[in-house]
Structure 1
Amino acid sequence: MSPGAHPSGPGGRGELLATGATAIAVLAVSTSAPLIAFAAAPALAVAFWRNVLATGAVAPFVLARRRPELRLLARPGGRSQAGWSALAGVALAAHFGTWMPSAQLTSVATATALVATQPVWQGLIALAQGRRLPLVTWGGIGLAVLGAVLATGADVGFDAQAVLGDLLALAGAVFAACYTALGEQARQTISTTTYTTICYGVCAGVLLVVCLAGGIQLTGFPGSAWLAVLGLVVGAQLLGHSMFSYALHKIPATTVSVLILLEVPGAALIAWLWLGQVPRTAALPGLGLLLVGVAVVVLGGTRSRTSPPLPPEAGPPA
């Protein structure tokens, strides 16, 4: 709470509401990996339906309230923003296409921790864009990379499937960073709802092509799988991201980014209690070091304006 703010005053009440919204968001996104692991359906099919339903949830609002903006996007001056939104959708499809299968191949705790390295890759993208990174950020990157190596190395002695899941989770983090960087470009002039409609729609289209080309089953799943898809849409995709977006009006983005890391122990706890997945002891030191490194990267960004900001609908697209 800011100095001088009182819980009963507008500022204090707003900060309390934002804190509550963040707590709800963390809980919502923590259910993502356990639901993916639980779903008795191909991960890519789950990703497709997740984005189709999310698009269907926001598109009616855009068509009813954002028609002038849609007309502007169809003109030469607005096509670049529409293009960035579409590219972000392609990157989001790549993220879902790698991370969601990882949650079914390796443990929920490891998959969630590895995909949480997104800020590390975000910093490297900033470096590639010619922005300087502070020394503390490089230190955090080093810790996160070492932690990821240790965690993945622990899985080498477990089985090859777990290692493949680890690598897919890391790829998912890279694509999530690309999605965020592209979203930063798109969100310069376009509204959140219009951006997400285009992004989610393109993502669903790309995943549909991949599923059809790969012969992946898209229907005929048990009711539990459809409930898992619904849970992903309502929880991580809509409720989680929406609450993070609301909280950004009162809580600094860096603080929100660090709080998002609570998704890792949250997902691990849910997977333990619900799915009986006990985190592998050998992987715990690496996962802990990885989280410390990511936190250092995020907190180091407060001392420099060099890292690109997250789009307003911030948060890893878990």
Structure 2
Amino acid sequence: MAVTVLSISATAPLTAAASASPLAMAFWRNCLGFAVLGPFLLILRRREVVRVARGERGILRREQWRPLVFGFLAATSLALHFAAFMTSTRLTSVAMSTALVATQPVWQALIAAGQGVSTSRRTWTGLALSVVGAAAAGGLDIKSGGTALLGDLLAVVGAIAQAGYTALSERSRADVSTPLYSTVTSLVCGLELLAVCWLAHIPLTGFDRTTQLSLLGLLILPQILGLGSLNFALGRTSATTMSVLLLLETPVAALTAWWLLGQHIKAATMPGLLLIIIGVTVVVTSGSGEQAAAQQGRHRKEIPPYPAYAPYTPQLPPAPERLPFWHGAKRDPRLDWASYTRDDSPTVRLTYHGAGAFDTVSLRRPHVEEEEPGFDGPAEALADHNWRR
């Protein structure tokens, strides 16, 4: 977890230290990340890639066009996030930019409230603290105006775009796994940034040594080391704990910018930055408290239907009286889907702007105890056949 926080905290200082255009930096960051991690993820999911290419999973059926549109919009939101956030690091201080971008859970909660999801008082309290902290921290920039205020606004736009990316990804990831979806989204994001740089006549080559070292640092630290350590930590701690710890990015990035760039944190902005961190912490932890309360008081009323976008399952043939070689069969994924209740969500959201699109939605597989079926009669043989299918 310490390696994760330190690696991700290097994002803003490395971007601010470079001399190239922020849009060019955003493009090369996605391009290098996709070139290194994309093929690796595609190799891990090569069977799924082949099935999608052949159309066996029906990804281009009529009901799948809508998720594809949401996926394209999610990639566009991700490109906007990178462009706005990386530009804000040049116009305002690293501490302000990182703190304002870290308010993504606040905007995520507002989007959920706009979609009709009930929001607790604790969440609204965290929202109020974050807004007051942002206003207090940006007070000096509001008075002075100029590029600092524009940088603060771009950082807020980056946070909103990241929240939109998460919300759109939840609606688009219908029939594609996380690695494949992340790889394709990163590719689309990079192509969109390339088009913007081409239309704006932004040079993508001829960088000085400082910019080249910054790009190399962005690839090694947040993209590779940050992603790997985050996935390792998520296997041993909760997503809520990791989300709260990622808020340490603000003070760590501020210290790094002071050491590398000589940026000093103004004493008048420190109370506001602290309020932002406290407010976002309240918002992040309120979601886990609501989920725990729902799990304690929930009652299993009915099993949700198998989703319509799932792969087509052919009718089972008549079962023989005895079915050998059942130990090596795979479990029916519908049994895992049926284990969820209406109060339980099949996804865990963890987003951060360090590794971009490569770790946005992680599927949570429930623990389901398996019992070995017997072969006492034709009915049990048929049940065993269904279990194996």
Correspondence 1:1-318 to 2 at 5 A: 22-74=1-53, 75=55, 77-79=58-60, 80=64, 83-187=69-173, 189-305=175-291, 314-318=350-354
Q: Deviations over 1:27-73 (max 9, x none)?
A: 00100000000011100000000000111112222443423312343
How far apart are 1:267 and its partner, in Å? 0.1
**TM-score normalised by the chain length of structure 1:** 0.87
1:66 counterpart letter in structure 2: R
C-alpha spacing 1:110/1:254, structure 2 compared with 1 (3 Å): same
| One-letter identity of the residue aligned with 1:281 | A
Q: Secondary structure at the match of 1:304?
A: helix
Q: Is the 8 A contact 1:86 1:202 kept in 2?
A: yes
- 2:154 is paired with a residue whose SS is helix
Closer, same or farther in 2 for the Cα pair 1:63/1:140, shift >3 Å?
closer
Q: What do you get for the CA RMSD once the two structures are aligned? A: 2.3
**64-73 or 282-291: bigger deviation:** 64-73
Contact 1:51–1:204 (CA under 8 A) maintained in structure 2: yes
Q: What is the one-letter code of the residue matched to 1:317?
A: H
Whichever residue aligns with residue 251 of structure 2, its letter is P
Q: Percent identity?
A: 45
More displaced, 40-49 or 211-220? 211-220
In terms of fraction of residues, the more helix-rich structure is 1
Alpha-carbon distance change, 91 to 185 in structure 1, aligned in 2, over 3 angstroms: same
Once the two structures are overlaid, the 10-residue window that deviates more, 68-77 or 138-147, is 68-77
Deviates more, 1:252-261 or 1:84-93: 84-93
**TM-score, structure 2 length as denominator?**
0.72
Q: Give the aligned residue type for 2:81.
A: H
Give yes or no for contact 1:245–1:312 (8 Å, CA) kept in 2: no
Q: Flag structure 2 segments of 5+ consecutive residues without an equivalent.
A: 295-342, 355-389
Q: Decide whether aligned partners of structure 1 residues 221 and 32 sit closer, same or farther in structure 2, where only a CA change above 3 A counts.
A: same
2-structure distance, mates of 1:262, 1:121: 19
**Alpha-carbon distance in structure 2 between the residues aligned to 1:71 and 1:82:** 18
Moved more, 155-164 or 140-149: 155-164
1:231-265 CA-partner distances (Å, limit 9, x unpaired): 11221123213322222222111111100000000
Alpha carbons 2:42, 2:183 under 8 Å: kept: no
Is the contact made by 1:242 and 1:313 (CA closer than 8 Å) also made in structure 2?
no
Distance 2:34 2:270 in 1: 37
Offset from partner CA, 1:108-151 (integer Å, 9 cap, x none): 00000000000000101111221101100000001101111111
* Counterpart contact for 1:126–1:308, Cα < 8 Å: no
Q: C-alpha separation between the residues in 1 aligned to 2:68 and 2:50?
A: 11
Cα distance, 1:164 vs structure 2: 0.2
Q: Which moved more, 1:23-32 or 1:241-250?
A: 241-250
Contact 2:239 2:348 in 1 (8 A): no
Structure 1 residue 180, shift from structure 2 partner: 1.6
Question: Which residue is equivalent to 1:4?
Answer: none
Q: Distance in 2 between matches of 1:287 and 1:187?
A: 34
